[in-house]
Amino acid sequence: MDKKASGFLSEFKTFIARGNVMDMAVGVIIGGAFSSITTSLINDIVMPVLGIFTDSISFAELSVKVGPAVITYGNFIQAILNFLIMAFVVFCLVKTINSFHRKKEAPPPPAPKASAEEKLLTEIRDLLRERK
């Protein structure tokens, strides 16, 4: 194996071994599992309720025929709603996680009080400035 290939494999090994990659892999797996939950929410709860207002049982039944082609725009509407709900949930999760990580800024400590010697030196300095 030449040096370029072994360097590439070494870089790849370093990349895979990082904690962030493992965290990302866990996130993708959980996201995939969560996707089935949001799909069920859309298909089994949201769409039937919205179907009441469209006189249809499901948006999936909405279609239009153009010549021999059938355009099922209801499926597209379901996919958009699924995406919006998923994006909203991810936004809420990220917002919650960020609030846990955000450090509350402590107010700066009060300035230490000047000692008697510092007060006297400050007065002398001010008197010297006045004379000039």
How much is the pTM? 0.48
Torsion angle in degrees (nearest 10) through CA of 34, 39, 40, 41: 90
CB within 8 A of 71, min separation 6: which ones? 63, 64, 65
Task: For residue range 52-110, list pLDDT tens digits in order.
Answer: 776 765 667 778 899 999 888 888 887 888 788 878 877 887 788 777 776 665 677 88
Q: CATH assignment of 3-104, given 1.20.58.220, 1.10.1200.120, 3.90.1860.10, 3.40.30.10?
A: 1.10.1200.120
